[in-house]
Structure formats: C-alpha cells, structure tokens
Amino acid sequence: MVDYPTLAKTVAALVDGEDDAVALMATVACEVHHADDRFNWTGFYRVVAPEVLKIGPYQGGHGCLVIPFSRGVCGAAARLEQTQLVADVDAFPGHIACASSTRSELVLPVWNKAGQLIAVFDIDSDTPDAFTAEDADQMAKILKDVFDQV
C-alpha cells in the first residue's frame, strides 16, 4: 500500500517552484509508479485538442498514443471530468486495451489553477480490483497540490 503522506511530501518537495506542466507530469508519474507494486502503468494523457487526449509522461510499457474523449476509461474521465475507479476493465463499456494485461484502472482528471482540464492521470494494474476510494482521494489531493502551480 502507498504511504500517501510520504508520497505527498516527496512530490511536493520535488516540484516546488516548477510551473512547467510536462515536467510536473514526468515527476508525478515517476514517483507514483514506484510507490506501490500494484501500479503497472502510471502516466498522463494530455488534452491537446477539443475532445482529444495524447500520451504524456508515463512509466511502464507502451501506452495508447491518442484517446478520444468518447472512448475508454481515460476518455470517460476527461469527458465527465470525474474520477473513474474501475475494478474490472473488461466490464467497462468501450474500454481500450492499451495493454492486454491490465485488469483494473484508476483515472483522475487534472486541472490547472484556472480550472481548465489539462490532462487525465491514469494508473493501471494487472490485478483485478486493485484500487480503493482512498487511492482515488489521496491521488486527487496530490494532483491538485501539484497542478495548482500551472
């Protein structure tokens, strides 16, 4: 399990004073990916055009390059601007299998300080039902603290 207080402090120290979104994404993806063995793929999909996400900094195997807001768990998180906590990706309508080993997924919307959706943060696990509401809440707090700098 993730030691969220330590993770939050570590990320905050690493990103202090940084306002480049890509640098922040790279740092968060790296730190979160190594925080828990449940996390097999950890990364960002950036909003690059209306209704279009494109892969950003990530850790793990290859991800999908482009995801429309209309498809998959990441698209749903972006379209609805709501966290998606998916215990079984095979049961999610329209799931995009970027990696065939993924069994569960947590995707959170990411806003800048102006309240604009700039990305979604995607965490995949090869374990079914790997994520909890606490994971979602704690990750949301970390993301807010980090991206309020942009």
Read off the pLDDT of residues 99-119 as tens digits, 9 standing for 90 and up.
Answer: 778 999 999 999 999 999 999
Residue with tokens 């790997």, as numbered in its chain: 130
Paired strand residues for 124: 41, 105
DSSP reduced 3-state for 56: strand
Q: Domains, the chain, ranges and CATH?
A: 4-147 (3.30.450.40)
Tokens of 68: 């429309």
pLDDT at 77 over 90: yes
Closest to 29 in 3D by CA, of 143, 150, 144:
143
Residue 67 pLDDT level (bands cut at 50, 70, 90): very high
- C-alpha–C-alpha distance, residues 59 and 123, integer Å: 10
